[in-house]
Amino acid sequence: MSCEFIKQVALYADDEMDRADQEKMAAHIPGCMECTSTLANHLDLKKAVRVSGKSFSAPPDLHAAIFRQIHQDQTPQRQGVSAWWKWISAPVTAVLLAAVVLLSLPHTGSKDKEDALLAELVDQHVVALSSANPVDVVSETRHTVKPWFQGKLPYTFNLPEVEGTPYKLVGGKLTYARQTAGAELLYMAGQHKVSVFIYQANSRQEKPLHKFRELSFNCTHWQQNGLEFYMLTDAQDEADRLATMLQEVNRS
């Protein structure tokens, strides 16, 4: 004869019972072989489906395409605009637009280039996030990773000691942006991956740490000693110290 609780086992396994019933079931199951066995079967099957059903990951280029799609679709929406503003908005907007265009003309080229570079770096970071082999040199030791770049890049850089900090070096690889070779270092900050890109700068000008958001990622940029650094991560502030550490070890 079947146990009266047997029909509730699926609900219990799916965590769909209210607290009182859940407690009643939890007290009953250990003493009932039929319910224990049925619960084990339910949990085995659920686990098998969870593992086997999660079979596919979005390809990296789809990630990048969706980022762009979201940003292209960003159109400001105005609501509740009063009637007088509707009348004067067109000429005011035209004048403002003309002023903005005139003021921004000398900088348009470099801004476009910077945006294009950032788009490339974000793509590479996304590839690192989704790849099973995100780096070419796999090592937690800076003394292994840094020498790996010797002869591959026409410049060198220093990596900080991360032992005893919340960061872990995963490795590095050669990367290309703007048709120029650069270094990509991959770190872990807790569960977050952090990509650090190091390229030769176009000038010797020093630029301080500058944090901003790009396609939902937190980016940090600075320039020192003829090198340009970009740090990309989805972590919030956890990676800030890593940027400072990199900056310190690369001071002249």
Partner 1 sequence: MRFALTTTRAAGFQGKSDDVRSDEKFRRDQTRMGPAPVGFRGHVSGLQSKDFEKLALPLLDPLYNFARWLCGDPDEARDLVQETMTKALRGLGSFREGTNFRAWMFRILRNTFLTSRTGLERRNTEQEDEDGFEDSVVTHETPELTLIRRADSELVQRCIALLPANFQEVLLLADVEEMKYHEVAEALDIPVGTVMSRLARARGKLREHVLEMMGTRKTQGIRA
CB of 72 to partner 1, least distance (A): 9
Q: In this structure, are residues 34 and 3 in contact, taking their beta carbons and an 8 Å threshold?
A: yes
**Segment holding 123, helix H or strand E:** helix 108-130
CB of 193 to partner 1, least distance (A): 14
CB of 215 to partner 1, least distance (A): 8
Binding mask 37-76 for partner 1 (x = CB under 8 A): xx--xx-xxx-xxxxxxxxxxxx--xx-xxx-xx--xx--
Under rule CB under 8 A, residue 19 binds partner 1? no
Residue from the set 18, 27, 79, 105 that interacts with partner 1 by CB under 8 A: 79
**Segment holding 87, helix H or strand E:** helix 83-104
Residue closer to partner 1 by CB (options 58, 101) is 58
- 5 burial level (CB within 10 Å; 0-12, 13-18, 19+): middle
- Which runs of E-coded beta strand occur in the chain? 137-138, 167-177, 180-189, 192-200, 207-214, 217-224, 227-233
Under rule CB under 8 A, residue 14 binds partner 1? yes
Binding mask 100-139 for partner 1 (x = CB under 8 A): ----------------------------------------
# residues near partner 1 by CB under 8 A: 40
CB of 60 to partner 1, least distance (A): 11
Residue 221 burial (CB count, 10 A): 21
Nearest residue to 192 (alpha-carbon basis) of 215, 208, 168: 168
Binding residues for partner 1, rule: CB under 8 A, are 2, 6-7, 9-10, 14-16, 34, 37-38, 41-42, 44-46, 48-59, 62-63, 65-67, 69-70, 73-74, 77, 79, 216
